[in-house]
Structure 1
Amino acid sequence: MKKENFPVRMGILSSVLTAVALSGCITLLALWLQPNALRTILSVFRGSPLLIVLNALPVGLLVVLFAFLFQNVFYSAALVNLVVCGLSIANRIKIEVRDEPVFPRDLTLLKEVGSAMGSYDIRFPVSAIAVVIGSCILLLVLGIFLRCKPFFPNSAGRRWAVRLGGAAASLAILVGLIFTVYASKSLYDSFPVSNAYYVPSVFNELGFPYCFTHHFTTYTVDKPAGFVRSEAEDWDSGETVPGQKPPVHVVMVMNEAFSDLTDDSAFTYTAENDPLPNLHALRSDPNCISGHVVVPGFAGGTANTEFDVLTGMQTNALSASTTSAFRAVNRNLDSLYRIFDADAYQTSFFHPGDSWFYNRENVYRFLGAEKIEFAEDMENLEYKGRWVTDDYMAGQIEQTFENAVSNGKFLFNYTTTIQNHMSYTADKYGADSDYSPVQTSATLSDVAQTLLSVYIKGARDADTMLGRLRDYFSASSEPVVLVFWGDHLPYLGDNQLAYKELGMDLTPEENGSASFLRSYETPYVIWANDAAAQALDWEKSITAAALPKDGTISACYLGATVLELTGRAAESPWFQYLTDLRRELPVIQKETVMLSDQSIVRADALSADQTALIAKLRNWSYYKLKYKDVG
């Protein structure tokens, strides 16, 4: 071929076909780079062909976008290949190291990523990286010899107008698809996967390009109106005061779906068959504070309650859309763990479930827990049905407490149980399980009767766990504060089936009423054994805490209340602020607020000062989630 025939000028049709072919190749390469075998992904795609389009379309639009700018489809493909496959490799590494995929929000955390890399033993897929780099070089070389014919070849101005206009149009289409088609949760959930709750598995099966693009609109954290970073920094750098009281052991147990719904007038239990005798006994103990926490979710959202209690932030205030608080956590945060760690406590988190669920394994590192244990880390697990028993977890707590004492350490432990997790079907504890009939004056359907009898069996075991821990710590000369509460009300059928048959007044949809708040209330007790009561001057501490008469508070205040009672709230400007805010507005649930006199109002009926307090809560939370550097 003669020299003057180079570079070859490709026509518009040839360029378009080449862009389509290259987009497909880049998509396949990105899928090949994932931890699971490419054939596994392709077998899923055969059953759901739409996934082919959903994975390739963002890649294709990016190729077209840069082809307009560069006027060269191969240069464009080289850049897109580098970015898309680079992200795919990062996703593979992150899943292998932290069992969590790459999300779009990770792009804003390059500083954190750089510092975190030194904390892990990373095995880089050298051969995969070489394939990506080699393919980029090949595309660049092809771009030198094969170029697109320009539009309007005799007019440079028109050529640039077409370049910029075409790129802008491609970007607009991509952004529009991200916020419509790719944002659709119903579409995303419609594809069959082996485990919808295990996010890395979903990424592996539905394809990285599609899943990554879908998550541009998930787990969002909204910037509050009027947020000023420097103002929040000033709040956070406020004066701190060392602990004012002797150290005590603190054991916090968030029990799955624990509730006192059997106290409702629809039930006819007596003292002889009371499902919750230990809870009721503790409520009358002079060393006990009791009430209800208003949690983020109705009949679900365990990790959101963990987030609210441990950080003092509110899941429901993070975003106008529904979000998973733990999925919004991607950096070190202040928490109860850091307060107790600073006081040289032995800190731990226990949960007899999977480490990947709700991304707990990573989140509790971000929260500062020293020891983190899941089912796979525990020995000789005891089950009822498919769930680890509350009794087993009580034993784990006792053993950890004894280890801390023998090591001369004070213990801070947070345990999330799992035994009474839904579903409450007759086979929950095995086909031969017996369930005591529900004692109620209401007429129940067979479905509601089953749901309630199975649930109450688990509630009895939870109450037994509470009694066991109370008796164990009562016998100890070590000072111990025990906190025990439920993460949310149980799920008892679609559209609150069993609740409605019982005649319980619950309204999960916000209406600014007491029935709305009741839909989110679970019981709590904060109890001190005799040694702790003496060390903390418990009666005086309770009086100084000035809790509402009925003890109802938002879950975000529970941790701060424990810090106040044990003399540690002033160690953190944030938790001291929460302590003060709780006295003014003991419950903040979305746009419904309970005032200190226990009246319930809508947020738009608050005074200017009260509105400013809530704005400060949300602005400060945003700063902590997005900007604060925590070692």
Structure 2
Amino acid sequence: MHLNLKPRKRLSSKKSSSRLGASISLVLFMIGLPILSVVGMEFLERGDLPETMQWITGNQPLFMLNVGLTFFLLAFVYALVGSLAISGSITTLILGLMAIISYMKVKMIGEPFFPWDILLNKESMDIASLVTGKAALIRICAIAAVILIVLALRWVIPRVTLPIIARFGLGLFSLYALYAFGIKTPLAGKILDHAGVNEIVWDQQQNYANNGLTLAFTLNVKNSIVQKPDTYSEQALAAAAATIQGASSVQQETAGVRKAKATLADGKQPNVIFVMSEAFWDPTLLENVTFSEDPLPTIHRLQQESSSGYLLSPQYGGGTSNVEFEVLTGNSMSFLPGGSIPYQQYISKPIPSLASYFADKGYKSMGIHSYEGWFWDRNNVYKQLGFESFKSSEHFDNPETKGYFISDAEVARNVINEVDKTENPMFIYTVTMQNHGPYDDPRYGENQFKATGNLSAQAKSILETYTQGAHDADQSLQMMIDHFKDLDEPTMIVFYGDHLPMLGMDYQVYKEAGFISTSDANKWSLEEIKKMHSIPLVTWANFDMPKQDIPVLSDSFLGAHVLDMLHMEKPANFALNAELAQQVPGLLSNLIVDQDGQLHATVPESAAPLIADYRNVQYDLMFGKQYLAAYLDHDYLTKGTQTGYNAEFGVPGAAPQSEAIGSQEAKPARAQ
């Protein structure tokens, strides 16, 4: 008996030692990997090691919160997988992808990676093909190498096996912790406040820079759902309706508005054509740069002859659909979470818009875009906005291409053809694609317009390629003018861009040309913010229309302004826009321009009540109980989709209006 006990004691001691080693390995792995992951993510996203270390040492509570969130993600994956090395590899892959996507987005359009970007699918592949470069490939290779190293630890560290019940408990606790910080429960809120977290929802680039990628991303989860304004109620909407009715009466008296229809002297309703030209901007605004000849002769002539000015866009370098959203609905991105995409996130039921308004006036409302219909989910969204049809690139007949995409001239020909063959007056919302970035490849061959100035060779090439495309957009506008000027059918064209082009990484061309003082957008003055969001706007009509100067006007107020120009009665939400535009013609999340042209970082006190009405009306129409429709414009505000949407292009499954609400297919999209 005595001889048999000694080996068992040795075996028991070895087992205890092995378990202790495995437990230590588990603890070290679960703590060490999150620390190294946060350091690596911040380095990948920021692109500068000294800056990364400075952030870590200067913001230790925030750093530890990022580590904690990473730990909970690792613990949750481990609870599912049961292997340290494999769960570490999966977590590293997830975090690495977050960092590289955020890095690429910031370089492209100045916006980091948001929770709603996870919905990207086919669209992300198309965008990725345009932004690959040495810096991105180095980061991808580094992430792949780290994943392989972590996976190789499977043959180094002792195997740890937790009981199923322990893994289940760890998984539930980790999932709840992530959920708590994502929606900011009271306890999580206290922890965040104690750590000194300052969430900057109106400036997401600064939000991520201050709080760290993991924490800022997690905090944005709650922003995926738009919060109801504190002032939203039926009584508030009744008060807003009274304000709108009073404003409409004054506007009709002072402007002589003819109700119910836009009618010219000969009794005809005019075609109304909006042309939103991809990334269109005036490169001659670069004061320290000159060109061999004027690239935009049509635009510059119309600025002298017709109503023109500048629109204040909520976007830079991308996010085209957000500009469409503002113009078509009259709603503002200022009241939505920073970086959100309404087409992708919120429009799943009929929303009143210019398209549905003109349809009520006997118009054929049509969208035209020279790219595929799934981009930004326009196939579904345009239906919800009240268009009768949407002509995307799939329905172009043997189109001409220039550079990477269908040419602007081809788009102009399609607009002309649709107007010519349609008996009813038309409302057309046109979106072009030809001059979509990037511009570092001279895709138009030998550029006609040579830039001279203090520019690097790369910046000069980028600017000249962009300018060639802008010239083509200018000429496509002239093509439409040449056709419609002698037509006996009254026609109005509203031409503008969606956002400034991304001329190189880190605002390269703008910085070298002296248009801005720094490539750090967080340090821009209010005047620089305004410059980097101001887009040329020109109008033209083949009938008499008084010339107006428009110093600044938000995209969300453009629809109301055009209806005024046409002497059309404005529906409730657009009437409110017109009233607000008199006080604050420029409204962005981080910039307010008042009626005197003064710039403000926050809402002036005098305009606060009307802006509160604007926000309440927008929430009511998009997410609320449609209280406003009980007081004003019920049929317009509650209108469903058009029967037979896109039937002319053979699109099956068009639902009648009574079945349309809530019928949108859940197919998210991302583009431009």
- With the shorter chain as reference, the TM-score category is 0.5 to 0.7
Q: 1:222 aligns with which of 190, 203, 227?
A: 227
Deviation of 1:219 after TM superposition, in Å, equals: 4.2
Deviations 1:38-89 (A, max 9, x none): xxxxxxxxxxxxxxx989969989xxxxxxxxxxxxxxxxxxxxxxxxxxxx
Indicate conservation of the 8 Å contact 1:509/1:516, yes or no. Answer: no
Deviation of 1:345 after TM superposition, in Å, equals: 0.3
Aligned to 2:476: 465
Aligned to 1:412: 427
Q: 1:342 aligns with which of 360, 368, 372?
A: 360
Q: Sort the Cα spacing of 1:104 and 1:444 in 2 relative to 1 into closer, same or farther, 3 A.
A: closer
Indicate conservation of the 8 Å contact 2:76/2:170, yes or no. Answer: no
RMSD: 3.3
Q: 1:610 aligns with which of 597, 607, 616?
A: 607
Aligned to 1:518: 531
Question: What is the one-letter code of the residue matched to 1:457?
Answer: Q
Deviations 1:252-297 (A, max 9, x none): 1000111112133223236xx2100011111222xx2000101011
Deviations 1:230-268 (A, max 9, x none): 532664696685236442110110001111121332232
Matched, 1:436 2:448: yes
Indicate conservation of the 8 Å contact 1:229/1:623, yes or no. Answer: no
Question: What is the one-letter code of the residue matched to 1:555?
Answer: D
- Please state whether the residue corresponding to 2:609 is helix, strand or coil: helix
1:188-337 superposed matches below 5 A: 217=222, 219-232=224-237, 235=240, 241-243=259-261, 245-246=263-264, 247-269=269-291, 273-285=293-305, 288-319=306-337, 321-327=338-344, 328-337=346-355
Question: What is the one-letter code of the residue matched to 1:225?
Answer: D
Q: Sort the Cα spacing of 1:231 and 1:58 in 2 relative to 1 into closer, same or farther, 3 A.
A: farther
Counterparts of 2:378 and 2:223, CA distance in 1: 18
Aligned residues: 421
Deviation of 1:228 after TM superposition, in Å, equals: 1.7
Q: TM-score, normalised by structure 2?
A: 0.58
Q: 1:351 aligns with which of 349, 369, 382?
A: 369
Aligned to 1:88: none
Counterparts of 1:371 and 1:438, CA distance in 2: 41
- Please state whether the residue corresponding to 2:387 is helix, strand or coil: coil
Deviations 1:424-467 (A, max 9, x none): 022534xxx11235333x22111101110110110110010111
Indicate conservation of the 8 Å contact 1:244/1:568, yes or no. Answer: yes
Gaps of 5+ in 1: 1-52, 62-101, 106-150, 152-164, 181-212
Counterparts of 1:411 and 1:372, CA distance in 2: 13
Question: What is the one-letter code of the residue matched to 2:236?
Answer: E
Q: Sort the Cα spacing of 1:467 and 1:244 in 2 relative to 1 into closer, same or farther, 3 A.
A: closer
Aligned to 2:18: none
Q: Sort the Cα spacing of 1:345 and 1:56 in 2 relative to 1 into closer, same or farther, 3 A.
A: farther
Question: What is the one-letter code of the residue matched to 2:538?
Answer: V
Matched, 1:424 2:429: no
Deviations 1:380-438 (A, max 9, x none): 1111122000000000000000012xx2x101001000000001022534xxx112353
Question: What is the one-letter code of the residue matched to 1:462?
Answer: A
Aligned to 1:485: 496
Identity of aligned residues (%): 29
Matched, 1:586 2:591: no
Deviations 1:583-627 (A, max 9, x none): 1111011132111111212325x13x4111111111211111113
Aligned to 2:542: 529
Question: What is the one-letter code of the residue matched to 1:434?
Answer: E
Gaps of 5+ in 2: 1-71, 81-115, 120-164, 185-217, 249-258, 627-637, 641-672
Q: TM-score, normalised by structure 1?
A: 0.61
Indicate conservation of the 8 Å contact 1:510/1:516, yes or no. Answer: no
Q: Sort the Cα spacing of 1:229 and 1:54 in 2 relative to 1 into closer, same or farther, 3 A.
A: farther
Indicate conservation of the 8 Å contact 1:512/1:601, yes or no. Answer: no
Aligned to 1:498: 509
Deviations 1:167-221 (A, max 9, x none): 99587346247569xxxxxxxxxxxxxxxxxxxxxxxxxxxxxxxx999656442
Deviations 1:509-549 (A, max 9, x none): 4866221111101101122113xx2xxxx22xx5xxxx6x5
- Please state whether the residue corresponding to 1:292 is helix, strand or coil: strand
Q: Sort the Cα spacing of 1:550 and 1:373 in 2 relative to 1 into closer, same or farther, 3 A.
A: closer
Deviations 1:138-168 (A, max 9, x none): xxxxxxxxxxxxx9xxxxxxxxxxxxx9999
Question: What is the one-letter code of the residue matched to 1:422?
Answer: G
Counterparts of 1:54 and 1:386, CA distance in 2: 40
